[in-house]
Structure 1
Amino acid sequence: MSDADSGAGDNDPETVQINIRLTRSFLEDIDATWKEQGFNSRSEFLRHIARDAVKNPDFSREGWKQVATSEHGLRTGETELVSREEIIAMIDEDVDDR
């Protein structure tokens, strides 16, 4: 964990610590993302995205795979940016397919 994670929420009896295994490169991506997005810590960022995933289950695992694939393509130069409207259409298609 990063230094920014230490001690946060340790005194809250409702808080439970969990452990997960990630590849080093994925953890590096997570760390870059939480810092870029202005979160105070890795833990705060992970709680936020977990809460969002639980509260908004309409965005499916397949949708997340598409986002990850697109992000990889952008980083490697294999794909180009898509418009906001195209993204909304893809999400709507995913929801309609349920």
Structure 2
Amino acid sequence: MDDTQLKQALKQLLIRECDKQDDIDWQSIDDAEPLFGQQSRIQMDSLDALQVSLALQQHYGVRIEGAKDGRRILNSIDSIAAFIRQHS
């Protein structure tokens, strides 16, 4: 799977796991766009982060340990993709 395919798959996973299908089209998400906070259109919360973390573990075999690491890794599609590449 190349980088573009990975990022597309991550965007789809994110929208599905955060239950945002009705709010945001996965194709409109920018790779560097923040996923948390006031500046974010997605506005992930801690429950979303947990669900996404579990889905990443199931689909990609990567484990995110701790809230601080989770926040850094789940910051954007770019940061998630980099983490997966680093750990697979």
- TM-score norm. by structure 2 comes to 0.31
- TM-score norm. by structure 1 comes to 0.29
Greater relative contact order structure (CA < 8 Å, 6+ sep)? 2
Larger radius of gyration: 1
